[in-house]
Structure 1
Amino acid sequence: MNFSFAPIGVIHSPYKEKFGIPRQPSLAPSARMKLELLPPYNHADTVRGLAAFSHLWIQFVFHETASRGWRPLVRPPRLGGNDKVGVFASRATHRPNPLGLSLVELIGIDIGSGVILELAGADLLDGTPVLDIKPYIPFIESRPDARAGFVDGPPPRLSIVWSEQARTDLAIWDSRHPQLAVLVEEVLAQDPRPAYQNDPERIYGVRLYLLNVRFRIHDNIATVLEISAS
């Protein structure tokens, strides 16, 4: 049997590319984004009662990597990018059906000419197609006694240092993006580099909003070098 699904909405996110997106939701709670519902789902009746819930499950499509296909074995970043596990023992984006599931915080609902959900802590790329929304129910879905396999806790965090140039740049953009400093630190603290890249002199860039944040990592310290328009 084959199935065909149409998106019910689209994500508007500060993450403009895959590089830099936290590998799990809620690791960057300052990441604010919007889920715009598409016709005919952008009707107030579709979200009646939703504001009573603090968190939502978002089911979406890995639209940028879907064309690359899948493999039965993948290399999770949490295992250093060397050890392999089965694709169904991972949350890799390259899957037989390129579907993702993300738990996000619901900040608000804007009902005007359409319906827009304001979200926090999502790990979703700008333009991500959304297939479904479901409320999160803690007493059913929170299982603190569950085993987490090789993901035995949150990833280690890097320390963050701001260069003088980066702080000057931040002052320029902060009025437009008030959460920018916190978001930059949350993203870089996760160490977005591929596991095989450890060159302390290499300068990386991550796109947040329409900005390019350039940084370097050495001795578990991420130094923000500059912020410029991308």
Structure 2
Amino acid sequence: MPEPCQQIGIIHSPFKQKFGIPRQAGLIAEASGFVELLPPYNQPEALTGLEEFSHVWLLWQANTINRDGWKPTVRPPRLGGNQRVGVFASRSIFRPNAIGQSLVSLGDIVTTQQRCGFNVSGLDILDGTPLIDIKPYLPWADALDDAVGGFAHDKPESQLKVRVAQEAVAQLELLRERDPQMMRLIERVIEQDPRPAFHQSDRQYGISIGEYDVTFRCIELIAHITSVAQMDEKG
């Protein structure tokens, strides 16, 4: 029996809950975060040469998943949430070892006495997720022209148009002035339609992104943002 993987770091992400996380890495460039190495792996020498690469693979473990409850089949959102495929024919995190992999864009590398790690963008990972490995992306090895992607061969398109409900106009204008990057991230997350594929309705949904709680309601293919509030201002 192989030894269990060691946690080498922690992934800091704007996604505070599973609902709203992009279904694959790279879909939302604005989803940025920081990969922090933990002792004894937080040695600057371990990152020497990484700055020469544009992208990295992050291998992580979904520590919120009950691994005793895995099933041999899953329902991928790309198939409408009703059709089942084998768990090993999917990228679902509901698998025996709950190991995920994400290809992200590499930003600045930080090596100080307080912190050792690097900035990334294009995340699809829950905040606080344990990191178990890092590997540089190699274009000649990781991108194959003749590869076939099964039921998920093509990149998914944005599903919804985002509008602001009248009651939230003032809130959204303030956020756009205060933090335009966060405003764009919120819009991009909702554009991807985070609602369950098998249970879409016009009910109101809530997501937590960064320091903000956001609610929206969909009417056909238009998502109306109904409120946005900073968490520490909700009282």
Name which of structure 1's ranges 65-74 and 97-106 shifts more when overlaid on structure 2.
65-74
Match of 2:140 in 1: 139
Aligned to 2:189, the other structure's residue is in SS state helix
Work out the CA distance in 2 between the residues paired with 1:144 and 1:108: 30
Work out the CA distance in 2 between the residues paired with 1:180 and 1:224: 14
What is the CA-CA distance between 1:67 and the residue it aligns to? 4.3
Aligned to 1:17, the other structure's residue is in SS state coil
Contact 1:68 1:94 in 2 (8 A): no
Match of 2:191 in 1: 189
Match of 2:151 in 1: 150
After superposition, the Cα gap between the structure-2 partners of 1:136 and 1:199, relative to the gap in structure 1 and judged at 3 Å, is same
Contact 1:27 1:186 in 2 (8 A): no
Match of 1:7 in 2: 7
Name which of structure 1's ranges 16-25 and 173-182 shifts more when overlaid on structure 2.
173-182
Query: Which digits, 9 at most, give the CA deviation of each residue in 1:66-93, with x for residues without a partner?
Result: 4463100111111111111000000111
Contact 1:214 1:226 in 2 (8 A): yes
What is the CA-CA distance between 1:6 and the residue it aligns to? 1.8
Match of 1:219 in 2: 220
Query: Are 1:86 and 2:86 counterparts?
Result: yes
Query: Are 1:119 and 2:120 counterparts?
Result: yes
Gaps of 5+ in 2: none
Query: Are 1:98 and 2:101 counterparts?
Result: no
Amino acid across the alignment from 2:98: P
TM-score, normalization by structure 1: 0.94
Match of 2:72 in 1: 72
Work out the CA distance in 1 between the residues paired with 2:49 and 2:228: 41
Match of 2:45 in 1: 45
Aligned to 1:168, the other structure's residue is in SS state helix
Query: Which digits, 9 at most, give the CA deviation of each residue in 1:170-208, with x for residues without a partner?
Result: 3434465441121112111111011122222x0000100
Query: Which digits, 9 at most, give the CA deviation of each residue in 1:37-87, with x for residues without a partner?
Result: 101111110101101100000000011114463100111111111111000
More helix by share: 2
Q: How large is the Cα RMSD of the aligned pairs?
A: 1.5
Paired residues, number: 229
After superposition, the Cα gap between the structure-2 partners of 1:167 and 1:32, relative to the gap in structure 1 and judged at 3 Å, is farther
Work out the CA distance in 1 between the residues paired with 2:69 and 2:2: 17
Contact 2:36 2:116 in 1 (8 A): yes
TM-score, normalization by structure 2: 0.92
Gaps of 5+ in 1: none
Amino acid across the alignment from 1:110: V
